Amino acid sequence: MEMKVLQCSFLSGIRLQKVEALLRILQPKVVLLPEELNPDRPSITNSFHYCVNETFCIYQARRTVQN
């Protein structure tokens, strides 16, 4: 299996509008966002939210994206 991971670290206080613009340019298949950045906007598709110090199941997210 081939996997490409792009890890971006944003400065505190970045606006969701800037994140959305960046995602439109990069066009990632899956986006993992911290729980405090919980947008109610449909423009960020295939996004999942994680909690600090909790395990996130990548397999489950992958199945959701493929279906």
The neighbouring-strand residues paired with 3 are none
Tell me: the pLDDT tens digits for 13-36? 667 677 778 778 878 777 777 777
**Residue 30: both structure tokens together:** 């899956």
**Residue 27: both structure tokens together:** 């066009």
Who contacts 51 (Cβ-Cβ below 8 Å, separation ≥6)? 35
CA-CA distance, 3 to 18, in Å (whole number)? 26
CA-CA distance, 22 to 19, in Å (whole number)? 5
Q: pTM (2 decimals)?
A: 0.50
What is the model's pLDDT at position 49? 78
What is the model's pLDDT at position 39? 57
